[in-house]
């Protein structure tokens, strides 16, 4: 059971209806990241005999890495919503609302599944306008399912805008939403208990799943990636993986590297650091400037967005996550699937992945069942965690091995798909 006695969707079979249920999947944009991959897997892998799905998406912002071409090569099709974007724009948002409403009239779905804050706001707003017409016309009763991959209630916007989004989410949860999906127990507690979004019995936990196939055999990928970077056998590579955005706090990644130099110069001399992820030109330039200011320009590689996760994750010796806010970090899922040891800020769903605290270590980090965590923004604790795992290979291997076992047992995309099919099938009643 989820906190508060609500159902956790996990390892559940579903019973398909005689006729496919029509599902409209709506996501703000198909930028490189966990939410877009998750939606693509749902559209590609859910049983077509039970669910007839339409995917609609806005466009990525300038400077963002676009997952669309990769998905297109896989044969995935989607409806383009050119005005739908992350930023608030009254004209574009109004036009996007109208476009979503037209899609609802065209597809007459049983389920509208929204992903991302803007898609959730506009999609469920359109549903409120659509439902009275659908009822008069005798069309299916529309059920809305909104997934919180993360949330925008802190670390994204100013206080006033964050409160505005929170008020809108509370109203939509009450009047426009059938089920709210959270992707970890900790996120569930944040949404339900801390921010008081949703009514009793409305929110479920559906943990993320990933494609584990690329990580079944990692030796060749590791050798290829490290040869590309010219790394010697005795060199240690610490990586951060994910899109470049303020909430990821990659300044902290660089400051932690500099703090390791002060903490253990000899260990630092064996280390290289890699940031794998793209962003707009201004953000990338600012990070390069910070690296130069900290004297790290010879130690840090900015590799941009890469698709060869079967190579770069195994090529790392440690994964460092420095975010201010997260849902469930896909980087930890994919790195953990390779057995990578992890040092991370204890935000969002990170503690759910890394497990309960076993002890607090000298210098501040918390040792958990499957990795080390530090408070958000705590450079010294993160640096100490790096030093501890880079110096103690046996402990790093134990924690990485425990995380790998946990990911393979609990976070396969087949389990995710089955859970969402089960949830969608419940909308029939």
pLDDT averaged per 10 residues in sequence order, the chain, 429 residues: 41 58 96 89 95 96 83 93 89 97 98 95 98 97 93 59 85 96 92 91 95 95 97 96 93 98 97 94 95 97 94 98 92 98 96 96 94 97 97 98 98 96 87
Q: Which residues contact 285 (CB under 8 A, 6 or more apart)?
A: none
- Claim to verify: residue 294 and residue 384 sit in the same structural domain: yes
Q: Mapping DSSP to helix (H, G, I), strand (E, B) and coil, where does residue 165 land? A: helix
| Among 17, 21, 37, CA closest to 29 | 37
Domain containing 171: what range?
3-209+412-426
**Full DSSP string of 66-85:** B-HHHHHHTT---EE-TT--
The half-sphere exposure of 94 on its side-chain side, counting CA atoms within 13 A, is 2
R_g over Cα of the chain: 22
- Claim to verify: residue 149 and residue 268 sit in the same structural domain: no
| Among 249, 227, 226, 241, CA closest to 302 | 241
Report phi then psi at 388, rounded to 5. -60, -45
Instruction: State both tokens at 288.
Output: 């390069």
In eight-state DSSP terms, residue 193 is I
The CATH number of the domain holding residue 339 is: 3.40.50.2000
Q: What angle, 0 to 180 degrees and rounded to 10, lies between the N-to-C axes of helices 250-263 and 379-391?
A: 60
- Claim to verify: residue 185 and residue 307 sit in the same structural domain: no
Report phi then psi at 228, rounded to 5. -60, -40
Count how many domains the chain has: 2
β-partners of residue 52 are 22
- Claim to verify: residue 128 and residue 246 sit in the same structural domain: no
| Among 153, 97, 92, CA closest to 120 | 97
- Claim to verify: residue 120 and residue 263 sit in the same structural domain: no
- Claim to verify: residue 201 and residue 233 sit in the same structural domain: no
- Claim to verify: residue 41 and residue 7 sit in the same structural domain: yes
366-368 and 371-374 strand pairing: antiparallel
| Among 416, 422, 423, CA closest to 143 | 423
Q: Which residues contact 74 (CB under 8 A, 6 or more apart)?
A: 40, 44
- Claim to verify: residue 200 and residue 226 sit in the same structural domain: no
- Claim to verify: residue 100 and residue 181 sit in the same structural domain: yes
Q: What is the pLDDT of residue 133?
A: 97
- Claim to verify: residue 220 and residue 152 sit in the same structural domain: no
Dist CA 327 CA 205 (whole Å): 12
∠ CA 423-424-429, nearest 5°, is 95
Q: Which helix (H) or strand (E) holds 183?
A: none
Dist CA 117 CA 145 (whole Å): 13
Report phi then psi at 61, rounded to 5. -80, 160
Q: Which residues contact 227 (CB under 8 A, 6 or more apart)?
A: none
- Claim to verify: residue 156 and residue 304 sit in the same structural domain: no
- Claim to verify: residue 235 and residue 125 sit in the same structural domain: no
Residue with tokens 């590609």: 44
């Amino acid at each position: 059971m989820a906190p508060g006695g609500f159902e956790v969707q996990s390892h559940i079979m579903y019973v398909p209806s005689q006729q496919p249920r029509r599902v409209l999947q709506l996501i703000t944009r198909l930028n490189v990241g966990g939410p877009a991959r998750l939606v693509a897997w749902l559209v590609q892998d859910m049983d077509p005999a039970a669910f007839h799905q339409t995917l609609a998406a806005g466009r990525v912002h300038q400077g963002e890495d676009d997952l669309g071409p990769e998905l297109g090569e896989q044969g995935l099709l989607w409806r383009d919503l050119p005005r739908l974007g992350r930023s608030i724009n009254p004209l574009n948002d109004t036009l996007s609302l109208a476009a979503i409403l037209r899609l609802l009239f065209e597809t007459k779905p049983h389920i509208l599944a929204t992903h991302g804050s803007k898609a959730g706001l506009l999609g469920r707003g359109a549903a409120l306008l659509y439902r009275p017409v659908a009822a008069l016309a005798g069309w299916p009763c529309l059920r809305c399912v909104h997934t919180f991959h993360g949330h925008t209630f802190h670390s994204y916007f100013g206080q006033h805008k964050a409160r505005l989004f929170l008020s809108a989410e509370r109203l939509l949860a009450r009047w426009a939403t059938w089920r709210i999906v959270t992707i970890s127990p900790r996120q569930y507690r944040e949404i339900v208990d801390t921010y008081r979004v949703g009514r009793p019995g409305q929110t479920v936990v559906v943990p993320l799943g990933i494609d584990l196939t690329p990580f079944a055999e990692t030796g060749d990928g590791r050798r290829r990636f490290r040869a590309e970077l010219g790394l010697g056998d005795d060199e240690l590579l610490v990586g951060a993986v994910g899109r470049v955005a303020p909430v990821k706090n990659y300044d902290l990644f660089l400051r932690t590297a500099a703090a390791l130099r002060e903490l253990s110069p000899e260990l630092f001399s064996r280390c290289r650091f890699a940031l794998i992820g793209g962003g707009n030109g201004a953000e990338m330039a600012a990070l390069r400037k910070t690296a130069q200011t900290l004297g790290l320009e010879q130690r840090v590689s900015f590799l941009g967005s890469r698709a060869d996760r079967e190579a770069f994750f195994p090529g790392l010796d440690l994964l460092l996550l420095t975010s201010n806010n997260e849902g469930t970090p896909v980087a930890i899922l994919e790195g953990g699937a390779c057995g990578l040891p992890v040092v991370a800020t204890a935000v969002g769903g990170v503690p759910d992945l890394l497990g309960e605290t076993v002890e607090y270590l000298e210098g501040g980090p918390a040792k958990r069942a499957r990795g080390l965590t530090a408070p958000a923004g705590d450079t010294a604790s993160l640096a100490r965690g790096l030093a501890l795992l880079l110096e103690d290979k046996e402990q790093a291997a134990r924690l990485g091995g425990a995380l790998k076992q946990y990911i393979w047992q609990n976070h396969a995309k087949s389990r995710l798909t089955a859970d969402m099919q089960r949830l969608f099938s419940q909308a029939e009643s």
